[in-house]
C-alpha cells in the first residue's frame, strides 16, 4: 500500500521496482513499433542523461510537495517515463477486451489495480441464491461497515456535495479546512469492500439472474407499493434499506428510495432518487431488460451514482435518454457508481461529474453498442479525482462527445471553457505547502470502434494535473477531436497525459497553448497515432514541445500527415527560462516513422520536414544565469 504522504524515498523505491521489471515493456502487452523506435531513438541520441536528470528533479520536487495518495502505477510512470505509454497500452487492452465480453467485474478489477487495491472479484463467483432480499440486506450491512472509520454516511454525503460545488469553481479545493479534512477521512474508506459489492450487484444484473428472479414472481402483484411508483408490478417489498421491486412488461414510473428494481420491459421512467445510493439507501441496483427508457435526475445525482455507497444501473436494450445534473451516469463520490448500457442509440446529458467520473471512489460508464450522443461540460467522460478512477468505455458506434460551453475558462479567456474531461486525472494542488496536497487519480476513456467526434474545453482528452493521470485509447475509426488549452496528451504540475490511437484518418485540433503532446511544469506527455492519414493543428507548446522540467513525446507511426503549428516549442523542441533557473533541461521528441510524404508548415524550424533529422538544444537566460533550457529531437523517416 502506498504511503499517504509521498516522499523521495518512496519514489526511489518505485524506480528500483520499475528497473527490476523483466523486459523493456510492462504488464504483458504487445509493444507498438513506434514506441520501441522512440526508446531506441533516446538511446541512439544519448538523451538518457537528460531523462535521468528529469527523474531526479521530479524526485526532489515530490519530496518538497509531499502529496498524499499517489498510486504505485503513477509512481512507476515518473520512475520510468518511457515505459508509461506501454503500461497504458497494456491496461487499456485489458479494459477493451473485458468490455467486449461484457466482463464488467474485470473492468472494476482494473480500477482496483490502479488504486493499489486487491481484486474485488469474489472468490465464490456469482451468487446462485434466488433469495435476493436477504442478500441485499447483507450487502447493505457490508456497505455501512466500509464507512466505519470514515464517518456518518449522511454527514459525509453533505460534505461531499459541498466539496464538489467548490471544485466546480476552483481547483484550489483545500483552501477550505472542511475539504482538507474530508480528503483525509476518505483515505480510510474501505474501497475494496465497495468494489466487491459492485461486482456482486453486477452478477445480479445478468440475463440469467434476471430470469431466475422473474420466475420467482410470475404473477401481477396487487399489494402495497411505494408512493411515486406506477405501472404493473410483479413484486414489491419494503426493507430498511429501500424498496425491492420487479416491474412488468408495460410502462412504469419509478420515483422512490429503491434498493433494487428489475423491470421486464416497456418504456419506463426512472428518477434520480430511484437510481442512486444515499444516506437512506446504501446499495442500489437497477436492471432494465428492454424498452425506450427515460432516466432523469436532479442536481442531487442519480442514474448509477454511488454517493457514499454503491449504485449500479444496467440497461440491456433500447434507445434511451439519460438526463441529469451533477453526479450521474456512472459516478462515484465516496462510493462506486456504475452505468452499463448494452445496446441502443442513446442520448446522455449531464452537468458535471458524470459518464465515468469519481472523487474518492470509482465511476464507470460502459456503453457497449450504438451511435450515442454524450454531453457533460465539466469533469466527465473518464475523470478521476484524488483516490479515484473514472472510466468511460465505449464498445462500438459513431459517437459524439461534448465537454465544453458552460463553465468559464479559469484563465478568463473569452469563448473558452473549463472541462477537465475525456480522460482527465486531477489532484488538489495547493500553493501553500502547509495545506494538504491530494494527488490526482486516473481518468480513462477507451473507445473501441466507430467514427467519433470529440469536442472538449480546457484541460481535457488525455490530461493529467498534479499527479493525475489522463489516458485516452481509440482502437479504430476516423475520428475528429477538437480541444482547447491543455488539450490532447498534455498536463501541468506533475501530470501525466497519454493518448494512443491505433488506426484511422484522424483530425487532431488544439490550436491553443499546450496541446497534442505539449505540456507545462514537471509533467510528461505521450501521443502516439499508429496508422492513418492524419491532420494535426497545434498552437504554442505542441507536437513534442516540453517546458519547465517536463518530457513531451509525439509519435506518428504511419500515413500521409499534415502538420500545422502556431508557435514554439514544437516538433521536438523543448525549454523555458525557468528550466535554466532550476538547472534541469526539459526533453522534447517528435517522431514521424511512416515514410509517406507529409506536409509541414512554412513556419516550422529549419531542417524540419520530410526525411530529415534534427537535434535541438536551447539556451536561455534566467535572471543572471545562462544555460541549456531544453533538448530535443525531430525525426521524419
pLDDT, one tens digit per residue, over 267-279 is: 999 999 999 999 9
193, 147 in Cβ contact below 8 A?
no
The helices-and-strands tally (H runs, E runs) of the chain is 12, 40
Radius of gyration of the chain (CA): 24
C-alpha cell at 351: 452537468
Of 28-42, 157-171, 548-562, the one with minimum mean pLDDT is 28-42
Same domain, 94 and 132: no
What's the domain count of the chain?
Answer: 2
Check residue 19 and give its pLDDT: 44
Q: Is 135's pLDDT higher than 80?
A: yes
Residue 251: band (very low, low, confident or very high) from pLDDT cuts 50, 70, 90: very high
Phi and psi for 623 in degrees, rounded to 5? 55, -120
CA distance 285 to 202: 8
Query: Does residue 22 form part of some domain?
Result: no
State what percent of residues in the chain have pLDDT above 90: 87
Task: Find the domain containing 534 and state its range.
Answer: 39-100+390-406+413-636
Arithmetic mean of pLDDT, 208-234? 86
Distances (CA, A) of 195 to 82, 106, 115, 188: 31, 11, 11, 15
CA distance 547 to 588: 9
347, 173 in Cβ contact below 8 A?
no
H runs (alpha helix) in 123-255: 132-146, 153-167, 177-186, 191-204, 207-216
pLDDT tens, position by position, 167-193: 999 999 999 999 999 999 999 999 999
Q: Is 26's pLDDT higher than 70?
A: no
Check residue 595 and give its pLDDT: 86
H runs (alpha helix) in 45-103: 48-65, 72-79, 84-101
Q: Is 480 helix (H, G, I), strand (E, B) or coil?
A: strand
Same domain, 132 and 88: no
Length of the chain: 637
Query: Does residue 3 form part of some domain?
Result: no
Same domain, 342 and 277: yes
pLDDT tens, position by position, 389-425: 999 999 999 999 999 999 999 999 999 999 999 999 9
Distances (CA, A) of 392 to 50, 197, 298, 374, 396: 35, 20, 22, 11, 13
Arithmetic mean of pLDDT, 76-86? 97
pLDDT tens, position by position, 371-394: 999 999 999 999 999 999 999 999
Query: Does residue 424 form part of some domain?
Result: yes
Q: Is 513's pLDDT higher than 90?
A: yes
Same domain, 172 and 308: yes
Same domain, 76 and 149: no
Query: Does residue 377 form part of some domain?
Result: no
Same domain, 453 and 522: yes
Number of neighbours of residue 506 by Cβ within 10 angstroms: 22
Q: Which residues contact residue 166 at a Cβ distance below 8 angstroms, ignoring those fewer than 6 apart?
A: 173, 176, 179
Does the model's pTM come out above 0.85?
yes
Q: Is 27's pLDDT higher than 50?
A: no
Query: Does residue 6 form part of some domain?
Result: no
337, 353 in Cβ contact below 8 A?
no
Arithmetic mean of pLDDT, 13-39? 62
pLDDT tens, position by position, 330-367: 999 999 999 999 999 999 999 999 999 999 999 999 99
Query: Does residue 13 form part of some domain?
Result: no
Q: What is the DSSP annotation of 161-193?
A: HHHHHHHTT-S-GGGSHHHHHHHHHHTTS-HHH
Check residue 28 and give its pLDDT: 41
Q: Which residues contact residue 169 at a Cβ distance below 8 angstroms, ignoring those fewer than 6 apart?
A: none
Same domain, 356 and 475: no
Arithmetic mean of pLDDT, 562-566? 91
Which residues partner with 354 through β-bridges? 328
Distances (CA, A) of 438 to 331, 351, 407, 474: 20, 24, 23, 29
Query: Grid cell 461486482 — which residue?
Result: 199
- Surface-to-core class of residue 224, CB atoms within 10 Å of its CB (0-12 exposed, 13-18 middle, 19+ buried): exposed
Same domain, 445 and 455: yes
Same domain, 516 and 556: yes
Give the DSSP H or E segment for 350: none
Same domain, 322 and 335: yes
CA distance 525 to 576: 16
Query: Does residue 11 form part of some domain?
Result: no
596, 563 in Cβ contact below 8 A?
no
Check residue 129 and give its pLDDT: 59
Check residue 22 and give its pLDDT: 36
Same domain, 365 and 422: no
Query: Does residue 564 form part of some domain?
Result: yes
Check residue 615 and give its pLDDT: 95
461, 434 in Cβ contact below 8 A?
no
Cis before 569? omega within 30: yes
- Surface-to-core class of residue 387, CB atoms within 10 Å of its CB (0-12 exposed, 13-18 middle, 19+ buried): buried
Q: Return the half-sphere exposure (C-beta side, CA atoms, 13 A cut-off) of residue 464.
A: 35
Check residue 566 and give its pLDDT: 81
Phi and psi for 630 in degrees, rounded to 5? -160, 150
Arithmetic mean of pLDDT, 299-305? 93
CA distance 465 to 520: 10
Same domain, 54 and 182: no
Amino acid at each position: 500500500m502506498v504511503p499517504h504522504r509521498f516522499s523521495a524515498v518512496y519514489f526511489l523505491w518505485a524506480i528500483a521496482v520499475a528497473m527490476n521489471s523483466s523486459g523493456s515493456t510492462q504488464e504483458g502487452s504487445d509493444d507498438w513499433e513506434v514506441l520501441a523506435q522512440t526508446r531506441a531513438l533516446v538511446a541512439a541520441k544519448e538523451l538518457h542523461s537528460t531523462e535521468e536528470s528529469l527523474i531526479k528533479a521530479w524526485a526532489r520536487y515530490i519530496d518538497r510537495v509531499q502529496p498524499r495518495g499517489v498510486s504505485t502505477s503513477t509512481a512507476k510512470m515518473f520512475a520510468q517515463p518511457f515505459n508509461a505509454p506501454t503500461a497504458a497500452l497494456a491496461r487499456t487492452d485489458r479494459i477493451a477486451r473485458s468490455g467486449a465480453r461484457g466482463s464488467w467485474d474485470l473492468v472494476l478489477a482494473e480500477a482496483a489495480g490502479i488504486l493499489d487495491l486487491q481484486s474485488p472479484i469474489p472468490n465464490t463467483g456469482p451468487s446462485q441464491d434466488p433469495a435476493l432480499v436477504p442478500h441485499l440486506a447483507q450487502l447493505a450491512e457490508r456497505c455501512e461497515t466500509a464507512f466505519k472509520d470514515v464517518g456518518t454516511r449522511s454527514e459525509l454525503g453533505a460534505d461531499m456535495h459541498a466539496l464538489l460545488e467548490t471544485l466546480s469553481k476552483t481547483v484550489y479545493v483545500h483552501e477550505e479546512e472542511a475539504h482538507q479534512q474530508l480528503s483525509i477521512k476518505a483515505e480510510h474508506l474501505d474501497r475494496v469492500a465497495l468494489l466487491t459489492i459492485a461486482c456482486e450487484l453486477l452478477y445480479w444484473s445478468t440475463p440469467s439472474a434476471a430470469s431466475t428472479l422473474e420466475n420467482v414472481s410470475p404473477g401481477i402483484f396487487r399489494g402495497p407499493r411505494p408512493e411515486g411508483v406506477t405501472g404493473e408490478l410483479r413484486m414489491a417489498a419494503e426493507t430498511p434499506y429501500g424498496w425491492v421491486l420487479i416491474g412488468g412488461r408495460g410502462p412504469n414510473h419509478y420515483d422512490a428510495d429503491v434498493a433494487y428494481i428489475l423491470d421486464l420491459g416497456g418504456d419506463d421512467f426512472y428518477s434520480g432518487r430511484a437510481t442512486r445510493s444515499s444516506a437512506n439507501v446504501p446499495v442500489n441496483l437497477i436492471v432494465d431488460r428492454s424498452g425506450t427508457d427515460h432516466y432523469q435526475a436532479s442536481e442531487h445525482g442519480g442514474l448509477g451514482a454511488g454517493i457514499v455507497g454503491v449504485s449500479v444501473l444496467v440497461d440491456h436494450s433500447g434507445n434511451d435518454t439519460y438526463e441529469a445534473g451533477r453526479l450521474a451516469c456512472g459516478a462515484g463520490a465516496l462510493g462506486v457508481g456504475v452505468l452499463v448500457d448494452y445496446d441502443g442509440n442513446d442520448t446522455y446529458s449531464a452537468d458535471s461529474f458524470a459518464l465515468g467520473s469519481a472523487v474518492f471512489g470509482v465511476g464507470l460508464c460502459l456503453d457497449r453498442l450504438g451511435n450515442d450522443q454524450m454531453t457533460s461540460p465539466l469533469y466527465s467522460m473518464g475523470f478521476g479525482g484524488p483516490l479515484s478512477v473514472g472510466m468511460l468505455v465505449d464498445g462500438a458506434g459513431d459517437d459524439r462527445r461534448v465537454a465544453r460551453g458552460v463553465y468559464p475558462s479559469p484563465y478568463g479567456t473569452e469563448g473558452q471553457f473549463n472541462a477537465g474531461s475525456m480522460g482527465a486525472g486531477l489532484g488538489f494542488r495547493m500553493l501553500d505547502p502547509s495545506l494538504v496536497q491530494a494527488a490526482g487519480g486516473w481518468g480513462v476513456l477507451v473507445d473501441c470502434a466507430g467514427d467519433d467526434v470529440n469536442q472538449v474545453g480546457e484541460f481535457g482528452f488525455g490530461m493529467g494535473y498534479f499527479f493525475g493521470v489522463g489516458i485516452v485509447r481509440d482502437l479504430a475509426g476516423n475520428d475528429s477531436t477538437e480541444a482547447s488549452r491543455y488539450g490532447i496528451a498534455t498536463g501541468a504540475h506533475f501530470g501525466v497525459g497519454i493518448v494512443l490511437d491505433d488506426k484511422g484518418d484522424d483530425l487532431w485540433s488544439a490550436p491553443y497553448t499546450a496541446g497534442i503532446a505539449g505540456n507545462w511544469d514537471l509533467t510528461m506527455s505521450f501521443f502516439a497515432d499508429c496508422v492513418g492519414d492524419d491532420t494535426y493543428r497545434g498552437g504554442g507548446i505542441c507536437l513534442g514541445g516540453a517546458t519547465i522540467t517536463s518530457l513531451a513525446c509525439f509519435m506518428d507511426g504511419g500515413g500521409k500527415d499534415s502538420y500545422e503549428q502556431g508557435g514554439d516549442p514544437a516538433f521536438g523542441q523543448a525549454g523555458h527560462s525557468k528550466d535554466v533557473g532550476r538547472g534541469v533541461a526539459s526533453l522534447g521528441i517528435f517522431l514521424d516513422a511512416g515514410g509517406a510524404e507529409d506536409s509541414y508548415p512554412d513556419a516550422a524550424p529549419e531542417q524540419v520536414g520530410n526525411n530529415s533529422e534534427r537535434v535541438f538544444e536551447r539556451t536561455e537566460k534566467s535572471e543572471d544565469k545562462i544555460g541549456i533550457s531544453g533538448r530535443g529531437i525531430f525525426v521524419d523517416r
